[in-house]
Amino acid sequence: MTKVIGLTGGIGSGKTTIANYFNEMGVPVYIADDGARNVMKSEDIIDQIKRSFGETLFENNILNRAKLAEIVFNDKDKLAELNAIVHPAVKKDFEVWLLQHKSYQYVIYEAAILFESGRYKECDLIITVTAPEEIRIERVLKRDNTTREQVLSRMKMQWNDENRISRSNFVINNDNLKNAKEEVVKILKILDIKQNQS
């Protein structure tokens, strides 16, 4: 049976970069954010978001994700409301994807809020990607059209590294991509050993 490896880390930790490297090494990767983007195009999800957040977030039936992010990352209750709509749909989407990859020994499920959403319970192993806070902030400022205050606000909404690490099987320190890639190779070797033993 295919093993699911959860891959997580705070905003700006570079977890998607690490996920892509696992993919380059031959491990199929499901990116939960991409899954969420896809399911949020479905009529059913659009209707639910309209009922909860209003039609002003839509132009020509297309969701303004920046406006939605501004609402949910400043209000824990609104974030929980959105997650209650999107997470079950992402779960179904992942289950379909997993069936399509059942010939693989293991796959990666990459999600920023793996622990917060409770999805970690469905993973066989968990990898947390970390990086110093200042590096994470700089990465997000370069990547997104945002402010330092907004980045810190989003960080506060997520678990801290200490909590994530205490519940993880592996930790990749991604302050230097070369070293982080070496950690990926080490983890793959360990996973191959585990697979051969089971």
Other residues' Cβ atoms within 10 Å of the Cβ of residue 62 = 10
Among 20, 56, 12, smallest CA distance to 148 is for: 12
> Are 104 and 28 contacting, i.e. CB atoms less than 8 angstroms apart?
yes
Other residues' Cβ atoms within 10 Å of the Cβ of residue 56 = 9
Chain mean position to CA 31 = 6
Please give the structure tokens belonging to residue 43. 């009529």
State the binding site for ATP.
12-17
State the binding site.
12-17
**Angstrom distance (rounded) from CA 45 to CA 47:** 5
